[in-house]
Chains A and B, each alone.
Chain A
């Protein structure tokens, strides 16, 4: 039997998986804190979100939930729909975080858009500041993580987060939040939410990579972070974010 291209790719694929599994095993054994090819010092992670591209399909919420085993009724990421009527408080809804999309609205007279939200991976994180034991921290590559074997479950960090992105895991009884799919990005993959976003509204970025499109993006577009007055040095930048967004 000839070794066709398909077979070649099949075997090659399996070898690749085995190799990465081996590297993962290395990590677990404590040989290094990241695979040999991944150096934390070379990366500074963030995300860019284009409001005008988001269609509120909820793919990101579903993907995150499945990739990270997020418990029901809690959200590492979610989508909000804003319906702004002139001169009034915006009407906002997020049915189950937008996990099944949104019930369609026919109100063409209102300014209406979708806002995906997640942990803003703050460089000057107020949640890390208040953790009494060092169970949550900013990794050297800029991702805010929780050490679930060390977390007491005091929930001080949940109180300190201005964006509402943390929650207490009901079974583990430790705090949980978006990890920017750290287990994926350290292996060269993108986050689950970015992978499954059909319009490219969400994109993972690496500020330390000179070739990353984020630099051009930030230069060419009007961008904003959520609650800039909190001075958290958030690393999730929104393009075309309306002033009514909270």
Chain B
């Protein structure tokens, strides 16, 4: 049989979860990571990353809105997907995840964004015209109270929402890890470490994404980059990456040492079918190289230009590397037979429903959405309709420190 080596169960020839299911944890991971970065400022008082607070929230929202799309495209009957909410099977991690997603979207992210942007929304509702005015009026939810006392209460509530939001973000992506990690039938997936590995790699990818977006937007909007902000983000990226890498190495070490029945077949798979995507792309290019670039900045002091280049390259490599990690988990878990006696192959189609073209489109969509959201709800000072020079307090535009010029 073409693509099959050795013996596999007859129903295992075709992979069930393909490129779209690789995309899905990648996208939700970016959500969790971006949100954690935002919460660094809000809850852990890391003032330096303040300029990216709003951008991180909008990034998280953009990716969260796109996240269900690869799932819908993948389902045999997407028109029945509402069943997950109407008759959720409580023993199924996938069903419970639907509610975690909804909770996170409604009660954490949308609420936090609304509370953060309320003053601006009201201001924009009062100063724009035409259909834009209508949109902003809708977003005010009918209340135009932006008195300092009201804003103080907003600030308090927003703080509580973020505090709840951190474990919610952990739950959001940890759950995806659990969806894989709880499958005893699949030894590549089944490990208690899976939710934690997923979570930390999500944080890594999310922080890297915000870093890249921040640099990109500052370049496009021709605004001055806050280097201390960038340095701090890179520092947290480095720390998170170290933890993530350690966890993955721990998993690898544990498997290699215990060498249970599945080890032989998994080891062979990594050395052959997954060599490029796991060893070369994920580990070498996607982890070791960015770690080296980031670590260098913790030891030596480079010029601003050099640092920006190193951070950008490190972040882009990280984003590729974390995608490769998702690929290796999802696809890798289906390349070997559960008989441990053979392997199959994954052929990515191009223009089919679950093909490459669609996947590229789906990956581009959140970035388009971020641009749209940034236009709708400008995150920085100097943007149209924004207040300028207002002392930095909850409700004013973050980045007030930025526009010092």
Contact = CB atoms under 8 A, between A and B. Distances in A.
Nearest to B93: A130
B17 A161 contact: no
Contacts of B71: 154
B361 interface: no
Given A133-B88, A151-B77, A159 B17 contact: yes
A130 B77 CA distance: 17
B185 A160 contact: yes
Interface of A is mostly: loop
A97 B340 CA distance: 18
A182 to B, nearest CB: 20
A90 interface: yes
B80 A130 contact: no
Contact of A151 (B13, B76, B182): B76
B7 interface: yes
Interface string B82-125: 01100111011111001000000000000000000000000000
A93 B7 contact: yes
B9 interface: yes
Contacts of A73: 10, 13
A156 B17 CA distance: 9
Interface residues of A, number: 46
Interface stretch (A11-19, A163-171, A208-216): A163-171
Contacts of A154: 71, 74-76, 94
B186 interface: yes
Interface in A198-225: none
Contacts of A92: 7, 339, 341
A164 B94 CA distance: 20
Contacts of A89: 341
A37 B224 CA distance: 82
A246 B12 CA distance: 14
Given A132-B88, A133-B89, A134-B87, A164 B338 contact: yes
A129 to B, nearest CB: 5
B16 interface: yes
A159 B75 contact: no
A184 interface: no
B309 interface: no
Contacts of A74: 10-11
A172 B76 CA distance: 8
B366 to A, nearest CB: 22
Contact of A159 (B186, B337, B341): B186
Contacts of B89: 131-134
B92 A132 contact: yes
A132 B84 contact: yes
Contact of A162 (B94, B185, B333): B185
Interface string B276-315: 0000000000000000000000000000000000000000
A174 B77 contact: yes
B183 A159 contact: yes
Nearest to B341: A92
Nearest to B337: A164
Interface string A143-161: 0000000111111101111
B126 interface: no
Interface of A: 73-75, 78, 80, 89-94, 96-97, 117, 126, 129-135, 150-156, 158-168, 172-175, 230, 246
Interface of B: 7-14, 16-17, 71, 74-78, 80-81, 83-84, 87-89, 91-95, 98, 179, 182-186, 333-334, 337-341
Given A89-B341, A152-B80, A161-B185, 10 more contacts: A75-B11, A80-B7, A131-B92, A132-B98, A151-B80, A154-B74, A159-B183, A164-B10, A168-B14, A230-B185
26 contacts: A74-B11, A75-B11, A89-B341, A91-B7, A94-B9, A126-B185, A130-B91, A130-B92, A130-B93, A132-B83, A150-B80, A151-B76, A151-B77, A151-B80, A154-B76, A154-B94, A155-B16, A155-B17, A155-B76, A159-B333, A162-B185, A163-B338, A165-B11, A166-B11, A168-B76, A174-B76
